[in-house]
Structure 1
Amino acid sequence: MAARALIEEVRTAAIRIGFTAAVAVTDQGGHLKAFDRADDAPFLTAEVAVDKAWTAASFHTPTHVWNDYLANQRIAPLGGHPRVMAVGGGYPIIDNGQCVGGLGISGGSYEQDMQAAEEALATLGFELPTR
C-alpha cells in the first residue's frame, strides 16, 4: 500500500472541497504507517484521524456505520472504548477484497471527511466498502 500517495490524494481532495485536515493511514493491524496534519488544522484532528483509521482497520468497516451499530444494546458497550470513533471519515483500505489498512480523515464536517476519503481511495484504485 502506498500510504504517502494516499495522504497526498486526501490533501488534494480536502483543499478542493475547502477544508484542512489531519490524515492517518494504518496497516491492517491498526498500526500507524503515515500521518499528516495541515498547519492550520485544529490539534484535536490529529487524534481523531488516527482513531478513525484504527477503527476502520480494526473492524474492516467505515466509521460512519458505527452510529447504527452503537444503537444496538448488545454492541453499545463498545462505544466506551477510547479508540472507537463513530464519526464519518474513517475507511478500511480494501485491495483485491482484502483489508490492508485504515484511512482516517479529520478536519471538515463528517460529510467532507467522507467525501475526501472516498475520492482519494477511488483515485488510487482501492475498493470502497458498500456499507
Structure 2
Amino acid sequence: MAAVTHIPTLTLAAARAAVEAAEAKARAIGVPMNIAVVDSATHLLHFSRMDGAKVTSISIALDKAFTASGHRVPTSTYKEAVWPGGVGFGIWNSNGGRFMVIGGGLPVKNENGEVLGAIGCSTGTPAQDEEVARAGVEAVEKLLKAESGKIRAKL
C-alpha cells in the first residue's frame, strides 16, 4: 500500500498558455472575458480580467473553473439537471455556493483522461464563455502533444 500519490496537474506555464489563447479568442469574438485557470486540486493558477470584462463575472469565472476541475466535467453538463424537479436541483448551493451550472467551465485532461485542472470564462453568453474556454483547453492540449512527442523522441 502506497503512502504517497502523485497527481498530475497543470503548471503555471500551461495556465499562461491557456489564458493567452482564451484572450485571443475573446478578442476575435469581440467579448472581453474574465479567465480563470485552476489546477487539479481546484486551486487558482492564473487569472486574467480583460479590459471591459464584467466585474461581477470575476467570481463566476473562478467558480466555473473550480466546478469543472472538481467535478471533472464541463459546467454545461448540468444545464438540464438543475431545473426544479431535475436530479441536480439545488446543487448550486453545494461547496459554499461555488458550484456553477452555467456553461463556460471546461476541465483540461491529459491523454489518459486524468483531469489536470480547468479553465473558467465569464462575461459573454454561456456559449461564448465556453467557446473562449475551449480555446484555452486546446492550447494546453497542443502543449501536451508537443511534450509527449519530445518524450517519445528521447526513448
TM-score calculated relative to the size of structure 2? 0.75
Q: How does 1:40-119 map onto structure 2 within 5 Å?
A: 40-71=52-83, 73-81=86-94, 82-96=97-111, 97-119=113-135
The whole-number CA distance in structure 2 between the counterparts of 1:111 and 1:74 is 23
Instruction: Output the aligned Cα RMSD.
Output: 1.8
Structure 2: gaps of 5 or more residues: 1-9, 145-155
What is the deviation of 1:68? 2.2
Please tell me whether residue 8 in structure 1 is matched to residue 20 in structure 2.
yes
User: Which of the pair is proportionally richer in strand?
Assistant: 1
Letter in 1 for 2:88: I
1:84-118 C-alpha deviation (Å, 9 max, x unpaired): 11111000111121101011000111111111112
| In 1, Cα distance between equivalents of 2:48 and 2:135 | 17
Q: Which moved more, 1:118-127 or 1:34-43?
A: 118-127
Partner of 1:125, secondary structure, is helix
Gaps of 5+ in 1: none
SS in 2 for 1:76: coil
* C-alpha displacement of 1:123: 3.6
Please give the alpha-carbon distance, in whole angstroms, between the structure 1 residues aligned to 2:22 and 2:33. Answer: 9
Shift of 1:40: 1.5
- Shift of residue 74, structure 1, vs aligned partner: 4.5
Q: Distance in 1 between matches of 2:90 and 2:66?
A: 18
1:64 and 1:75 mapped to 2: Cα distance? 13
Identity %: 31
Q: Report what 2:4 is aligned to.
A: none
Q: How many residues were matched structurally?
A: 127
Aligned partner of residue 102 in structure 1, secondary structure: strand
- Following superposition, the deviation at residue 77 of structure 1 comes to 3.2
Quote the offset at 1:120 in angstroms. 2.7
